[in-house]
């Protein structure tokens, strides 16, 4: 009973938002018939398209760099023993733990003081936002990949060594296939984290470098219109699809663990 109510509570507002993005009325409360006109409006809104391209390129670079840094961190923590390791593990999680607003303003001050150039050509002008996104994305990647590495059977590596494989071959043919699902899941997570971030981006973005959430925020401040619903629905659709893929892969992974 409470379960049902909670699910309704969690989903009803979002579903209402999606349904009313197709509503043929500016007042946005009563149903006046089905229309795509706000999607057309959104698609022809150049500012929105620009923000969308910015968001996608930030998310892309974020995914690539977070995957590299996160995998390195995971390998480091899995492979090596070193002094103050537990402290290091804690520090890696700090970007996830401390309030986003603190990271946002700290980076704002930092980029201001170090004179990070503001007038770079696209896509380099997005570098501030991208660096900030990598900072809070790669710890998530590290956590996921490390969890997967913990399930790696070291006997496999020894067997490969006994059969005469070198380290490069082991990485390519033994370790990499084992890590593949985790790599896919964490890249999807990094991509959505970046696409969705508002607070930190809010402090990094300028007039030339808006992202979709920033754009939606300024639209929401202005008024509640079906156009905002349409823009939100597009962003929602992208993240839901990515999330569904990630959860689906993770389920397969859990089943595999159950079997073994």
Partner 1 sequence: MKSARNHKLAFWLTFCPPTLWMLIFLLVPILIIGIFSFSAKQGLVDISASWVLDNYIRAFDPVYLSVFFKSIGIAALTTLICFLIGFPVAIGIASAPKSWKPVLLMIVVLPFWVNLLIRTYALIAVFRTRGFFNFSLEWVANLFGIPFEPLTLLYNDAAVILGLVYIHLPFMILPLYAGFEGFNKSLLEAASDLGAQQFKIITAIVLPIMAPSIISGCILVFIPALGSFLTPELLGGPSSQMIANVIERQFLAANDWPFGSALSMMLIYLTFGALALRYFWLRRRYFSSTENKP
Which residues in the 88-127 window bind partner 1 by CB under 8 A?
Answer: 91-92, 94-95, 97-103, 105-110, 113
Residues 6+ apart with CB under 8 A from 167: none
User: Which residues 51-90 are close enough to bind partner 1 by CB under 8 A?
Assistant: 68-70, 72-73, 75-76, 78-82
Determine if 6 is a binding residue for partner 1 (CB under 8 A): yes
How far apart, in whole angstroms, are the C-alpha atoms of residue 233 and residue 229?
6
Q: Whose CA is closest to 66, among 125, 146, 140?
A: 140
In whole angstroms, the minimum distance from the beta carbon of 87 to partner 1 comes to 12
- Say which residue the tokens 């959505």 belong to: 192
Determine if 143 is a binding residue for partner 1 (CB under 8 A): no
Determine if 43 is a binding residue for partner 1 (CB under 8 A): no
User: Which residues 159-218 are close enough to bind partner 1 by CB under 8 A?
Assistant: 192, 195-196, 198-199, 203, 213, 216-217
Q: What is the four-CA torsion angle of 197, 198, 204, 205, rounded to 10 degrees?
A: 110
Name all contacts of 76-81 with Cβ < 8 Å and 24+ positions apart: 77/142, 77/146, 78/146, 78/149, 78/150
Determine if 9 is a binding residue for partner 1 (CB under 8 A): yes
Determine if 8 is a binding residue for partner 1 (CB under 8 A): no
Determine if 3 is a binding residue for partner 1 (CB under 8 A): yes
| Contact with partner 1 (CB under 8 A) among 142, 144, 145, 174 | 142
Binding mask 216-245 for partner 1 (x = CB under 8 A): xx--x---x---xx--x--xx--xx-xxx-
Determine if 157 is a binding residue for partner 1 (CB under 8 A): no
Q: Whose CA is closest to 193, among 147, 130, 108?
A: 130
How far apart, in whole angstroms, are the C-alpha atoms of residue 28 and residue 51?
24
């Amino acid at each position: 009973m409470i379960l049902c109510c909670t699910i309704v509570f969690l989903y009803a507002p979002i579903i209402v938002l999606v349904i009313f993005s197709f509503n043929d009325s500016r007042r946005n409360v009563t149903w006046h018939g089905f229309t795509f006109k706000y999607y057309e409006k959104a698609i022809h809104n150049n500012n929105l398209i620009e923000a969308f391209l910015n968001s996608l390129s930030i998310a892309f670079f974020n995914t690539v760099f977070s995957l590299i840094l996160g995998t390195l961190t995971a390998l480091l923590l899995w492979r090596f023993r070193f002094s103050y390791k537990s402290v290091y593990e804690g520090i890696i999680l700090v970007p996830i733990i401390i309030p986003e607003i603190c990271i946002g303003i700290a980076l704002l001050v930092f980029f201001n003081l170090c004179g990070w150039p503001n007038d770079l050509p696209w896509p380099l002008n997005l570098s501030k936002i991208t660096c900030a996104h990598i900072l809070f994305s790669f710890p998530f990647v590290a956590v996921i990949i490390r969890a997967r590495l913990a399930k790696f059977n070291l006997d496999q590596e020894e067997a490969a060594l006994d059969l005469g494989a070198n380290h490069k071959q082991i990485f390519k043919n033994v370790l990499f296939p084992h890590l593949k699902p985790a790599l896919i899941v964490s890249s999807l997570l990094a991509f959505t984290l970046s696409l969705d971030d508002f607070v930190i981006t809010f402090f990094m973005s300028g007039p030339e470098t808006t992202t979709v959430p920033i754009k939606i925020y300024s639209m929401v401040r202005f008024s509640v219109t079906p156009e905002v619903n349409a823009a939100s629905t597009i962003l929602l659709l992208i993240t839901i699809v990515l999330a569904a893929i990630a959860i689906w892969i993770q389920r397969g992974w859990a089943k595999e663990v159950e079997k073994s």
